[in-house]
Amino acid sequence: MAKQFEDNYHRKFYYLRLSVTDVCNFKCTYCLPDGYHPQQKKKPSFLTLEEIQRVTGAFAQCGTSKVRITGGEPSLRRDFTDIIRTVAEQPGIRKVATTTNGYRMARHVHEWRDAGLTNINVSVDSLDPKMFYQITGENMFNQVMEGIDAAFDAGFEQVKVNTVLLKDLNSQQLPQFLNWIKTRPIQLRFIELMQTGEMDQLFNKHHVSGVSIRNYLIANGWVLKLKSNNDGPAQVFCHPDYQGEIGLIMPYEKDFCKSCNRLRVSALGKLHLCLFGEHGVDLRDLLQQDEQRDELIARIQGGLAEKAVSHFLDEGNTGMTPNLASIGG
């Protein structure tokens, strides 16, 4: 193995989030409220299968063991199953995950599993179909629920569900969510709304901290679980009476960045050291031939030297990120 990717603050990077497209078919109010629009007139050309193979190969050589394929909506790529297979084939990659809005899961999740997908996250912002529509702009609640059933059927032992916590919307529905996971091995993760560049009033209106949920859980017998080194930033709670778990992702909490273990590569081949706050290091010219691997690794290592200690979101910074779909949330 080449030298493990590490930054100036001794954080090691086991986890790559790889965006494979910016395109999305949903219109989530906090992400793409007006739907997807390309940033330039020319149709963007997203990473090819060969480029994906080269970039994940380089990361794997430097200690990355987990890759999450994300977007935009990654399952919109026609070659999505081949992407999963390509990533899974890289020596050293032990976990291949994806984050999806779930609309293609019911039909394709078996095929994804067979190709090597080991972990799946589905976004479900409400268990009430009307509110689901209100938040995502799509009437696909039942389809997404069928997708989750299909994932269990395909052999996933646990499904993770991402729910962006929104004040006066789903924040009132904790009892419904808890009831849902009582008999299902679902890790339901409440993500605090993050402020991005294109967001104006929404953040002030709907941001709410996860603290009150954490207090509720602790007061009701839920216990915080320990983490392993390629786990995400969620604080995960379990309870003996529940098959499911609750995760809390609270990016505004002090020290959130201390345990950062992930790097991102955008669908256009830029290395992003953080979700927020920088332009990215272009890697694309070094993804054209297998022989460029050493140079590619050196460029990534050079970029890492610039990784900041924190995202400074708590100071109102939204950096360069217009929305999370554009960089792979």
Q: Using CB under 6 A, list all residues that contact ligand SAM.
A: 24, 30-31, 70-71, 73, 99-101, 123, 162, 164, 191, 193-194, 196, 324-325, 329
* Cα angle for residues 288, 48, 92 (degrees, 5° grid): 80
Q: Which of 144, 195, 152 is nearest to 25 (CA)?
A: 144
State phi, psi for 99 to the nearest 5 degrees: -120, 125
3-state secondary structure (DSSP) of residue 299: helix
Interface residue with ligand SF4 among 61, 64, 90, 101 (CB under 6 A) is 101
Interface residue with ligand SF4 among 18, 20, 31, 234 (CB under 6 A) is 31
Q: What's the closest the beta carbon of residue 264 comes to ligand SAM, in angstroms?
A: 11
Q: What's the closest the beta carbon of residue 20 comes to ligand SF4, in angstroms?
A: 12
Residue with smaller CB distance to ligand SAM, 68 or 299: 68
Residue with smaller CB distance to ligand SF4, 65 or 119: 119
Residue with smaller CB distance to ligand SAM, 61 or 121: 121
Residue with smaller CB distance to ligand SF4, 71 or 251: 71
d(CA 258, CA 290): 34
User: With binding defined as CB under 6 A, does residue 32 bind ligand SF4?
Assistant: yes
Q: What is the 3-state secondary structure (H, E, C) of 120-141?
A: EEEECCCCCHHHHHHHHCCCCH
On whether 160 is known to bind a ligand per the annotation, the reply is: yes
Q: Which of 109, 112, 100 is nearest to 162 (CA)?
A: 100
On whether 303 is known to bind a ligand per the annotation, the reply is: no
**Taking CB under 6 A as the criterion, which residues in 105-134 touch ligand SF4?**
123
On whether 238 is known to bind a ligand per the annotation, the reply is: no
CB atoms inside a 10 Å sphere around CB 215: 10
Q: Select from ligand SF4, ligand SAM, none the partner in contact with residue 32, using the beta carbon and a kind-dependent cut-off of 5 to 8 Å.
A: ligand SF4
Q: What's the closest the beta carbon of residue 214 comes to ligand SF4, in angstroms?
A: 24
Q: Select from ligand SAM, ligand SF4, none the partner in contact with residue 100, using the beta carbon and a kind-dependent cut-off of 5 to 8 Å.
A: ligand SAM
Q: What is the 3-state secondary structure (H, E, C) of 210-275?
A: CHHHHHHHHHCCCEECCCCCCCCCCEEEECCCCCCEEEEECCCCCCHHHHCCEEEECCCCEEECCC
State phi, psi for 83 to the nearest 5 degrees: -65, -45
On whether 17 is known to bind a ligand per the annotation, the reply is: yes
Q: Say if residues 170 and 191 touch (Cβ distance below 8 Å).
A: no
Q: Select from ligand SF4, ligand SAM, none the partner in contact with residue 55, using the beta carbon and a kind-dependent cut-off of 5 to 8 Å.
A: none
Q: Say if residues 186 and 120 touch (Cβ distance below 8 Å).
A: no
On whether 62 is known to bind a ligand per the annotation, the reply is: no
On whether 30 is known to bind a ligand per the annotation, the reply is: yes
| Dihedral in degrees, nearest 10, Cα atoms 276, 83, 163, 329 | 10
On whether 70 is known to bind a ligand per the annotation, the reply is: no
**Taking CB under 6 A as the criterion, which residues in 268-327 touch ligand SF4?**
325
Interface residue with ligand SF4 among 13, 21, 58, 73 (CB under 6 A) is 73
Q: What's the closest the beta carbon of residue 188 comes to ligand SAM, in angstroms?
A: 12
On whether 11 is known to bind a ligand per the annotation, the reply is: no
d(CA 189, CA 173): 14
d(CA 192, CA 207): 7
Q: Which of 262, 227, 212 is nearest to 99 (CA)?
A: 262
On whether 266 is known to bind a ligand per the annotation, the reply is: no
Q: Which of 162, 174, 153 is nearest to 121 (CA)?
A: 162
Binding residues for S-adenosyl-L-methionine: 30, 72, 123, 194
Binding residues for [4Fe-4S] cluster: 24, 28, 31, 257, 260, 274
**Binding stretches for ligand SF4 (CB under 6 A):** 24, 26, 28, 31-32, 71-73, 101, 123, 325
